Amino acid sequence: MLEDPATARILAISPHLNDAVLSVGACLAQAARDGAEVLVHTVFAGSAPPPYSAAAERMHAIWGLSPEEDATLLRREEDVAAIGHLGLSYRHGRFLDSIYRKRPDGEWLASPREGGAKLAVEERAPDGDPGLVAEIKADIEAVIGDFDPTLIVTCAAILDHPDNQVSRDAALFAAFEKDIPIRLWEDLPYVTNRPGPVELPPGFQRGAPAFVAVGEEVRTRKFEAVECYSSQLGMLNGRNKNMVHRMDEHARKNSPDGGYGETTWPVVRVEEHR
């Protein structure tokens, strides 16, 4: 992923508190060990005051929180611990997670479905949410101005979630406007059981995938960092409690030697859309 880690400055744009660590935590930790400066900026990390949607209340209960607890504050504390364990820096953005947002008509964006932690989240309009993308892009540009990255990484949005999609699109627009290389990560662990297409905005396309292998010590450190997100583990593991097994198995399928690693893609502009 890096030609010269010793001079690299990597900005990871994470939609939610845990996405970057789950998806590229090993790559980011390895880059930091090799001398790179790494900053994880989480877009949807703003605190939401009550009242909450039924979807938010269900998720808070699944996370083991009482109605009086500040869920976002707890999750930010988990994120600080996880990011610190990997030797990285962090910033927390101001935007509200989809479970706390409303549609223009005043109805909640997310609603609970039957069955555990399943939610119905309104999909974005065919042309995206340009207003929200523009706001997030402006925040990312401010972080770019402060951090001066040589590489940006963000989610591919294989997970069909509006927060992931708008974060990715805003990062793409900001990166290309500032002429900074950008790569997309797989949305782990979700891609292990819900793979889907990646539809980038017009004018962008993915290049060839690159699998970055890491040693056992870095792999272990990643999953130790994942354990810091204690409120999320029951949901991430699912009923079979096999998240780490699924991610190991997925890595082995992509690895030339059967070891652990993570996959990213470069993004290029398509000339005819310029």
- Dump pLDDT digits (tens) for 221-252: 999 999 999 999 988 887 767 899 999 999 99
Q: What was the pLDDT predicted at 127?
A: 44
Domain borders along the chain are 5-273
| 194-195-200 Cα angle (round to 5) | 125
Q: What was the pLDDT predicted at 249?
A: 95
When mean pLDDT is compared across 107-116, 146-155, 232-241, 255-264, the lowest value belongs to 107-116
Q: What was the pLDDT predicted at 235?
A: 87
Q: What was the pLDDT predicted at 118?
A: 55
Model confidence at 128, pLDDT cuts 50, 70, 90, reads low
The candidate with the shortest Cα–Cα distance to 182, out of 207, 212, 147, 145, is 207
5-273 adopts what CATH topology? Rossmann fold (3.40.50)
Contacts of 60 by beta carbon, 8 Å cutoff, 6+ apart: 52, 67, 69, 71
HSE-CB of 46 using CA atoms within 13 angstroms: 16
Distance CA 229, CA 80 (A): 10
pLDDT of 97 above 90: yes
Distance CA 164, CA 44 (A): 9
User: Which residues, in sequence order, are bridge partners of residue 117?
Assistant: none
User: What is the average per-residue pLDDT within 90-114?
Assistant: 90
Q: What is the pTM of this model?
A: 0.93
> Scanning the structure block, which residue is given the tokens 């223009």?
104
